[in-house]
Amino acid sequence: MNPIGIIYDIKKFAVHDGPGIRTTVFLKGCPLSCWWCHNPESQSRFPESKTELLTKNNLKLFRGNETIGVEVSVEEVMREVEKDIVFFDESDGGVTFSGGEPLMQDEFLLSLLKQCRLKDIHTVVDTSGYADYSVFEKINDYVNIYLYDLKIYDNQKHLKYTGVSNQLIHQNLKQLLKAGKNVKIRLALIPGIVDSLENLAQIISFIKTLDDELTVDILPYNKIGENKYNRMNLVHQLSGLEQQTEAEINRVKLQFETAGLKAS
């Protein structure tokens, strides 16, 4: 029997979650609790009662009621995904599984990935990397690309700002590369924390010890998440931060490129 999962959104026509036009499925639950999380509704593993976000169209696609997050079957998700196959084919796109942390629902994710493989749909998994490596081993054969988030190199700071150590994350990245998986690094520039000169230099050195050919996606800070905290009566511990300018983003990219890495 196919497992049931919990998702909190499906975003169609996504163009920043991997190659081509993609449908992104957001699985609920995350073992991290980043101070800057722009999807706070994703962190709890279970559906939560929050009226405000019910107006989102994508949640209405399913059995929407006054909750964030709905239980869905693999078939229900695939029905939505398959509506967009024509766009995937035209753009070399596919489906991206994001979160939260999609690896938290490993059996559900595995079933979805297997279905995608059966239907020849390209797959991306966007992960924090925080999972037992056995979960990666389980899904590796069905994942075309991993989008792998790095955050803070200093472990004490990582622990402080995300709630977990980065050692497992770094170890898993090494193992994925050793296994020959297609991995793209993502780095969201949280002002003063991730984008500090010291952290960037440490992240660059770390990546260079792994593989000079890795591409790093540099993402600006996303302020949109702060509004969600207000609506959900949550405290945003980093409110008031400003998104970097294009010139600042380009400077960071140049820092990576000067070190011999590919930044996009």
Contact status: 105 vs ligand SF4 (CB under 6 A): no
Restricted to residues 41-60, the positions that interact with ligand SF4 (CB under 6 A) are: 42-43
- Amino acid identity at 63: R
207 binds ligand SF4 (CB under 6 A): no
Site for ligand SF4 contains 220 (CB under 6 A): no
What are 51-54's contacts with CB under 8 Å, separation 24+? 52/231, 52/232, 53/231
CA 129 from chain centre, in angstroms, equals 9
Task: List, edge to edge, every strand of the sheet that includes 262-263.
Answer: 70-73, 4-14, 22-27, 94-98, 122-127, 145-150, 183-188, 215-219, 262-263
11-30 residues in contact with ligand SF4 (CB under 6 A) are 30
Q: Does 100 bind ligand SF4 (CB under 6 A)?
A: yes
Q: Which is nearer to ligand SF4, 8 or 142 (CB)?
A: 8
The phi, psi pair for 44, rounded to 5°, reads -75, 140
For residue 40, give both structure tokens: 């706070």
Rule CB under 6 A: say whether 6 interacts with ligand SF4. no
What's the number of CA atoms in the CB half-sphere (13 Å) around residue 211? Answer: 18
First-residue to last-residue Cα distance in the chain: 41
- Residue 69 in the binding site for ligand SF4 (CB under 6 A): no
Site string for ligand SF4, 116-135 (x = CB under 6 A): ------------x-------
- Asked if 238 is part of the footprint of ligand SF4 (rule: CB under 6 A), the reply reads no
Number of residues that bind ligand SF4 (CB under 6 A): 12
Q: Does 96 bind ligand SF4 (CB under 6 A)?
A: no
Indicate whether 237 belongs to the interface with ligand SF4 (CB under 6 A).
no
Residues binding ligand SF4 (CB under 6 A): 30, 32-34, 37, 39, 42-43, 99-101, 128
